[in-house]
Amino acid sequence: MKIRVFNADDHPILRKGITNLLVETNDMEWVGSAGNGEEAVQKIRTLKPDVAVLDIEMPLMTGLEAAKILINEGVSTHFVLLTLFKDEMFFNEGMKIGVKGYLLKESSEHEILECIRTTSQGKAYVNAELTQYLINANHSKDSILNDLTNHEINILKLISRQKTTAEIADMLFISPKTVSNHRTNISKKLALDGKQNGLLKWAIKNKDLLK
């Protein structure tokens, strides 16, 4: 039985490229396409494809938002996100909601087809280049926090939640002066340059590291 595949991309040439690839592949059946996220949601509900390949960046609704809505509705379709960007946030969010595949637009035709075949079986597929990127990124992030003590990481978590020095002191039953000393040490270890609110900005920006 052929794998029924739907694709969505707001760029006509890229959308046509995937469509043609599907049409020319013996074990796949192209069932339709869309140029934006809202249209994709409506058509997938009706067509019920085995796999939907969605561009992340689309007008009206992103591919990630479209996939989230449909997964929450309990559709049987498996989703593959296609993107130009090596973005860990998109990747993590996609995996968290149940997206099975994640591909860069620079992926080869072979990779795209293998991803569709793998995800149609309910298995996860991430192309090799992205996997290596994420491994390297995670190693880099791990090393950033390696120099911090558990106590300092806890303080950093509270800073990321925009707690003041006085609030942190009350929550941890230590003096505000001790919190200030910790903030100074953390800033040194993170090689922050001492700009106003530099530690707060870093903590908010890197909140995901502290989970």
pLDDT in tens, 34-45: 999 999 999 999
pLDDT in tens, 146-172: 788 888 888 988 998 899 999 999 888
Mean per-residue pLDDT for 79-107? 83
User: What CATH number does the domain containing 42 carry?
Assistant: 3.40.50.2300
Confidence of residue 54 (pLDDT cuts 50, 70, 90): very high
What pLDDT does residue 138 have? 55
State the residue range of the domain holding 84: 3-128
Per-residue DSSP letter, 2: P
Q: Are residues 105 and 167 in the same domain?
A: no
Q: What is the Cα–Cα distance from 176 to 108, expressed in whole angstroms?
A: 56
Q: Are residues 76 and 149 in the same domain?
A: no
Q: Is residue 39 part of a domain?
A: yes
User: What CATH number does the domain containing 158 carry?
Assistant: 1.10.10.10
Q: What is the Cα–Cα distance from 151 to 172, expressed in whole angstroms?
A: 10
Q: Are residues 105 and 24 in the same domain?
A: yes
Q: What is the Cα–Cα distance from 6 to 67, expressed in whole angstroms?
A: 12
